[in-house]
């Protein structure tokens, strides 16, 4: 079936790489692999960074116009379903619910969050719109288990919450090409992959620097893959690590996979991390992970099985976990092999496609909602 796809926070062809963009692309691939024909239905980015009610109102008006235009242009051959990836109070869906109502088609959301504390804040308009979209949804596909508690009260029926583990294309990541890790000697090669921006990312870099400065007696190096507007602040956060650092800059997916394949251990404090796609990519590459147990990280990393999780924001615990794996190559090999197996079994693209196919097939067999006149 033809599926209208929309990503209000960051569309899949956005110029700036991120885990958000990568997941949008992966959902498109998973829907196609499930036998459907997804197409990008709208390009409006509804994200309001600063909490500007006037901007939110303008975006709402624009979204309503785009919804009406979409319905006019496709009424003769409407899509069978509308699929929105990731909405919340800062990036609500102003288009999909109106289109689904007007055309009488199912409305599906993948990754939605709802925090009541935002109800009276500067994103009040976006908060209400996101809540209305969640209420309208015929299914909410939950990528992050932490979102369930906030979303569930909005759903007409709790069975509309459908968990789906975060996923990637494991075939794009080589767990150990040519046995490089087994043959490698010298300092243990740490790696981290993250954008450089203010907020939680910079806080994670600062904690990483504080933790690694506690390990001057061990042989290790750190490769940093990423770039962004906080590049100078990140350099300051890692000050004192000297020639142990290698700055790789921003790389495409293929180059990131190559750098992960050449490393021994992935390290990232993950402060405020919702999902952590880079953690999933590292494990797909057969790397053990040391990470902070924040947000949805626990849904990706299994502590003592595929890596080590430590309390969020605890530099001492992060340093101790990193020290443990630097000193124990057998543990790194065991955790890394388990990480690859776990990703291939639970987080690979074909598994996600099968789960999505089941959701969509069930909705396709349900009675259609009547379209609303005047749309």
Q: What is the pLDDT along the chain (375 residues), one digit of tens a residue?
A: 999 999 999 999 998 888 789 899 999 999 999 999 999 999 999 999 999 999 999 999 999 999 999 999 998 899 999 999 999 999 999 999 999 999 999 999 999 999 988 888 899 999 999 999 999 999 999 998 889 999 999 999 999 999 999 999 999 998 876 566 665 678 999 999 999 999 999 999 999 999 999 999 999 999 999 999 999 999 999 999 999 999 999 998 899 999 999 999 999 999 988 778 899 999 999 999 999 998 789 889 999 999 999 999 999 999 999 999 999 999 999 999 999 999 999 999 999 999 999 999 999 875 545 444 443
Angle formed by the axes of helices 124-136 and 53-74, nearest 10°: 30
Q: What was the pLDDT predicted at 366?
A: 59
For residues 145 and 111, the answer to whether their CB atoms sit within 8 Å is no
Sign of CA dihedral 8, 169, 356, 34: positive
Q: In sequence order, what are the residues at sequence separation of 6 or more whose Cβ sits closer than 8 angstroms to the Cβ of residue 235?
A: none
Q: How many helices (H) and strands (E) does the chain have?
A: 13, 12
Q: For residues 249 and 150, give the distance between their C-alpha atoms in angstroms, rounded to a whole number.
A: 37
Tokens in use for 153?
């009260």
Label the pairing between strands 107-112 and 139-142: parallel
Q: For residues 189 and 369, give the distance between their C-alpha atoms in angstroms, rounded to a whole number.
A: 55
Q: How many angstroms separate the Cα of 174 from the Cα of each of 42, 141, 253, 262, 328?
A: 35, 29, 12, 10, 22
Q: What was the pLDDT predicted at 372?
A: 45
Q: Which of these, 4, 35, 10, 41, lies nearest to 23 by C-alpha position?
A: 10
Q: In a 3-state reduction of DSSP, which class is residue 57?
A: helix
Q: How many angstroms separate the Cα of 370 from the Cα of each of 9, 93, 105, 138?
A: 29, 21, 8, 14
- Other beta carbons less than 10 A from residue 127's beta carbon: 23
Q: What was the pLDDT predicted at 180?
A: 61
Q: What was the pLDDT predicted at 232?
A: 97
142: left (phi over 0), alpha (psi -120 to 50) or beta: beta
Tokens in use for 43?
């390009």
Residue whose entry in the numeric block shows the structure tokens 């767990």: 175
Q: For residues 161 and 237, give the distance between their C-alpha atoms in angstroms, rounded to a whole number.
A: 40
Q: What was the pLDDT predicted at 16?
A: 84
Q: What was the pLDDT predicted at 181?
A: 62
Angle formed by the axes of helices 277-284 and 253-261, nearest 10°: 50
Q: For residues 358 and 343, give the distance between their C-alpha atoms in angstroms, rounded to a whole number.
A: 21
Tokens in use for 300?
């990706």
- Taken in order of first residue, the domains within the chain and their CATH numbers are 2-167+349-364 (3.40.50.2000), 170-346 (3.40.50.2000)
Q: What was the pLDDT predicted at 186?
A: 86
In three-state form (DSSP H/G/I as H, E/B as E, the rest C), the secondary structure along the chain is CEEEEECCCCCCCCCCCCHHHHHHHHHHHHHHHCCCEEEECCCCCCCCCCCCHHHHHHHHHHHHHHHHHHHHHHCCCCCCEEEEEEEECCECCCCHHHHHHHHCCCEEEEEECCCHHHCCCCCHHHHHHHHHHHHHCCEEEECCHHHHHHHHHHCCCHHHEEECCCCECHHHCCCCHHHHHHHCCCCEEEEEECCCCCCHHHHHHHHHHHHHCCCCCCCEEEEEECCCCCHHHHHHHCCCCHHHEEEEECCCHHHHHHHHHCCCEEEECCCCCCCCHHHHHHHHCCCCEEEECCCCHHHCCCECCCEEEECCCCHHHHHHHHHHHHCCHHHHHHHHHHHHHHHHHHCEHHHHHHHHHHHHHHHHCCCCCCCCCCC
């Amino acid at each position: 079936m033809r599926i209208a796809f929309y990503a209000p926070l960051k569309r899949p062809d956005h110029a700036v790489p991120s885990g958000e963009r990568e997941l949008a692309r992966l959902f498109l691939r998973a829907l196609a692999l499930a036998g459907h024909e997804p197409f990008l239905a709208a390009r409006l980015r509804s994200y309001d960074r600063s909490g500007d009610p006037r901007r939110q109102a303008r975006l709402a008006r624009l979204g309503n116009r785009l919804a009406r235009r979409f319905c006019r242009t496709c009424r003769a051959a409407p899509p069978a379903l509308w699929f929105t990836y990731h909405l919340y109070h800062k990036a609500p869906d102003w288009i999909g619910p109106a289109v689904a109502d007007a055309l009488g088609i199912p409305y599906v959301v993948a990754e939605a969050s709802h925090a009541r504390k935002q109800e009276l804040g500067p994103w009040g308009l976006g908060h209400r719109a996101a809540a209305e979209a969640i209420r309208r949804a015929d299914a909410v596909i939950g990528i992050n288990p932490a979102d369930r508690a906030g979303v569930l009260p909005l759903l007409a029926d709790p069975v509309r919450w459908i968990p789906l583990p975060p996923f990637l294309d494991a075939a794009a990541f080589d767990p150990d090409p040519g046995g490089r890790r087994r043959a490698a000697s010298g300092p243990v090669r740490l790696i981290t992959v993250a954008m450089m921006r203010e907020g939680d990312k910079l806080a994670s870099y600062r904690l990483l620097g504080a933790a690694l400065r506690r390990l001057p007696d061990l042989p290790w190096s750190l490769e940093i893959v990423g770039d962004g507007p906080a590049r100078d602040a990140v350099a300051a956060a890692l000050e004192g690590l000297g020639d142990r650092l290698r700055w790789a800059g921003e790389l495409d997916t293929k180059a990131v996979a190559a750098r992960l394949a050449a490393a021994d251990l992935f390290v990232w404090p993950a402060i405020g991390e919702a999902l952590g796609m880079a953690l999933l990519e590292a494990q797909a590459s057969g790397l053990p992970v040391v990470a902070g147990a924040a947000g949805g990280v626990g849904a990706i990393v299994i502590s003592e099985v595929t890596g080590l999780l430590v309390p969020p924001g605890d530099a001492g615990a992060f340093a101790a976990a990193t020290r443990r794996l630097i000193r124990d190559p057998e543990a790194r090999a065991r955790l890394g092999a388990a990480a690859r197996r776990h990703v291939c079994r639970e987080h690979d693209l074909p598994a996600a496609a099968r789960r999505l196919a089941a959701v969509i097939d069930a909705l396709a067999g349900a009675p259609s909602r009547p379209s609303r006149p005047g749309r």
